[in-house]
Structure 1
């Protein structure tokens, strides 16, 4: 019995220690908790593109619309031959478009390596110059928080803060929330490890 107990202690001590909780910051992700009460943000992943004393602004990464970008952007035919869709960035200012791009041919502000934030005008200018602009996504609207509001929601458990990469930002939106939720979810039980030993639960 003592030997089994010692082996179990060694096994537990070998488990990776969870990283310290991240604070909201530009270039990080907000992953909605399973218990998110606000229906507008259930199962959403948001990239923070502004976070300062004036408040916080983010873009929902996993809500594509069914509207072709060629129909959403007026005054140009540059998107006519493309199959891009408009993305729904959040409930604030739905008539305003923001752009995320991985191309350095588009003028903008770097958010994290391989991702910069910009506007429609800058994207169109780059296309008119014949520059490579992919990958990019155009978002209608954004999510916004007043100063201190997001910190309260994170403390309440509405959001988990996760590091972002360009691959996550421009990757498969359909599986993004589930992927990040599974990574962030704490281990609730240790499976049976030694023959004859019961599972250990916290």
Structure 2
């Protein structure tokens, strides 16, 4: 089985689930037991410190809570972009991206150049993600270190599609509602 850990899933226009309309999901784990990921481009209006008072990342782009998916929305997960010096010290998800252990008493913000907090996650049972990809619901794409930390997360779906080759890149211009075209 090919693992999509560290890859992006881009919802295709055919994916009709309203939870994932134009979503960009970073796959955190994918094995024979299923898959887990977080939606990168759904920012909430809630500040991260409202749900996690010890959250130490206060830059404007890191301060808002993101919606990670429809599963266990009361749970929290954090992604961090490690600084160059710290990147070699961690078990990274992708290059400099790592999952931050929120059970730590103190989170060392000096290790990271950016971080995001997510409420809930996206989950797939064994074989479900592969079936959804095969049926045309998702496009698998390479992730860049900065994808989870962009300043304009609502533009991420189009930006990642534009990086792709061939016909897939043209989907970036696909209308939100093709009936209105």
Fold match (TM-score > 0.5): yes
SS of aligned partner of 1:147: coil
Alpha-carbon separation, structure 2, partners of 1:54 and 1:123: 30
Describe the superposition over 1:154-200 as per-residue Cα deviations: whole angstroms up to 9, x where unpaired. 00100000001102222231211012234447449xxxxxxxxxxxx
Alpha-carbon separation, structure 2, partners of 1:42 and 1:166: 23
Q: Could you say which structure has the higher strand fraction?
A: 2
SS of aligned partner of 1:96: strand
Asked whether the equivalents of residues 96 and 141 of structure 1 are also in contact (C-alpha less than 8 Å), the reply is yes
Of the three residues 83, 86, 95, the one matched with 1:113 is 95
Alpha-carbon separation, structure 1, partners of 2:144 and 2:97: 8
**Unpaired runs of 5+ in structure 1?**
1-22, 189-202
Alpha-carbon separation, structure 2, partners of 1:77 and 1:122: 11
Query: Structure 2 vs 1, CA of residues 152 and 69 (structure 1 numbering), >3 Å: closer, same or farther?
Result: same
Asked whether the equivalents of residues 48 and 55 of structure 2 are also in contact (C-alpha less than 8 Å), the reply is no
Asked whether the equivalents of residues 28 and 161 of structure 1 are also in contact (C-alpha less than 8 Å), the reply is yes
Of the three residues 44, 48, 71, the one matched with 1:69 is 48
Asked whether the equivalents of residues 116 and 148 of structure 2 are also in contact (C-alpha less than 8 Å), the reply is no
Of the three residues 132, 141, 161, the one matched with 1:181 is 161
* Corresponding residue number in structure 1 for 2:19: 40
Larger radius of gyration: 1
Alpha-carbon separation, structure 2, partners of 1:65 and 1:125: 22
2:134 aligned with 1:152, yes or no?
Answer: no
